[in-house]
Structure 1
């Protein structure tokens, strides 16, 4: 009888020990899987953010090209001018998209910080301020007054027709840009005008694996690293090789 009891106790102890080993094994496996999956999930999230940003810029550029096709080839300016100025993000998109779509298409999920007032632009038509993550190449689109001659900065003078851009596939039109209230970009209009506006790092954030999404005047979007963006202010990337 005693032998049977001792055997039963040893069996219970063995089963308990085996269960503990199993538990530790499962924990170890879960740790390994987590170590593998967490970087993968992060990479997938970054890929999705890049895809969303690319889609946003394509829609913005498509709206601009549609505008040009309906307005004698003129690209939409940075702002409407006058006392009731409306800047390009809302002015361009309000006519083609409903409010929820506007809110989504103006935001790059990789750089937008909710509640950052420097990322807001206000439509004087609706009085509604909306966040946005993108800037326009003002050396191409200029301001509302097309009668003034263009100057070096471009944004105080005329805008250019789409057909005047000699190298649309190499000319930037829109780009993601963070901290739109800082130097280099207008707090309301969201613009870039040359390389000097971005070297401080205040405009181009390079959030997509150290690359920045750029939309070109022919409608395509590319992710460019800092060394791929020309630092020559006279490069066609900035000027479109238009005749000043």
Structure 2
């Protein structure tokens, strides 16, 4: 049999077989994409948990050095609010007023140089302990919110350290101190704002949370109770 007759007996793919192959490739592609997405999501959640543990270590050191008082979430300088718990060191104006924040007492506990730079802190997508890697904001890199019932807002003229004494927290293992935020410009939550300010949908398991006993876990919106928000409950 010559070569021409050999080729004439070869059968190509039918349309049905071709469509079946395309369908199989499509299914495999969707499975691979789903697996990759799940792996990335898990990696983000693990990194986020690590961030919160590092913040917890800084809180522990601060508290030990300040008579058992927790850091505050905001203080006031020259009549202007300045972020405290996740603040960068801003430059000072010639008259001594703060320009874009001040170097907080808490800053030295989480950064060897005293604080993050403004560029590190504000660049969208920046990787540092105050930005969850799953934060998709295109305007800033602030990924967590503090519970104002635990890390208090220190008003102008308030005497003393102003933070909450650890011993005043009834059940520290239940109380949320810091959690994923819902929007990158939301830096706090309280008993009347937690539903909209906490990022419960950021991770598959819910919002990652640093509790007042410095353990780290996750919470779903439907599982949150008053005792998880109020340290006196």
Scaled by the length of structure 2, the TM-score of the pair is 0.72
Structure 1 residue runs without a partner (length 5+): 120-130, 150-156
Take 1:107 and 1:14, find their aligned partners in 2: how far apart are those partners?
A: 65
SS in 1 for 2:163: coil
Q: Does structure 2 retain, via aligned residues, the 8 Å contact 1:64–1:76?
A: yes
Counterpart residue number, 2:132 = 108
Structure 2 residue runs without a partner (length 5+): 88-103
- Please, which of 7, 11, 14 is the counterpart of residue 12 of structure 1? 7
SS in 2 for 1:59: helix
Take 1:213 and 1:203, find their aligned partners in 2: how far apart are those partners?
A: 10
Counterpart residue number, 1:97 = 111
Q: CA 1:141–1:32 in structure 2 vs 1: closer, same or farther (change >3 Å)?
A: closer
Give the CA deviation at 1:229.
Answer: 0.9
Give the CA deviation at 1:216.
Answer: 0.3
- Please, which of 53, 57, 63 is the counterpart of residue 58 of structure 1? 53
Listed one character per residue, the Cα deviations across residues 120-171 of structure 1 (whole Å, up to 9, x for unaligned) are xxxxxxxxxxx2110111111212359859xxxxxxx943111221211011
Matches within 5 A, 1:20-169: 30-83=25-78, 85-90=82-87, 91=104, 92-97=106-111, 99=116, 103-114=127-138, 116=139, 119=140, 131-144=141-154, 158-169=162-173
Take 1:28 and 1:180, find their aligned partners in 2: how far apart are those partners?
A: 41
SS in 1 for 2:77: coil
Give the CA deviation at 1:172.
Answer: 1.0
Q: CA 1:219–1:29 in structure 2 vs 1: closer, same or farther (change >3 Å)?
A: same
Q: Does structure 2 retain, via aligned residues, the 8 Å contact 1:144–1:159?
A: yes
Scaled by the length of structure 1, the TM-score of the pair is 0.69
Greater radius of gyration (CA): 1
Counterpart residue number, 2:183 = 179
Take 2:28 and 2:107, find their aligned partners in 1: how far apart are those partners?
A: 45
Larger helix percent: 1
Take 2:143 and 2:34, find their aligned partners in 1: how far apart are those partners?
A: 26
- Please, which of 180, 184, 191 is the counterpart of residue 188 of structure 2? 191
Q: CA 1:15–1:24 in structure 2 vs 1: closer, same or farther (change >3 Å)?
A: farther
**How many pairs does the alignment contain?**
203
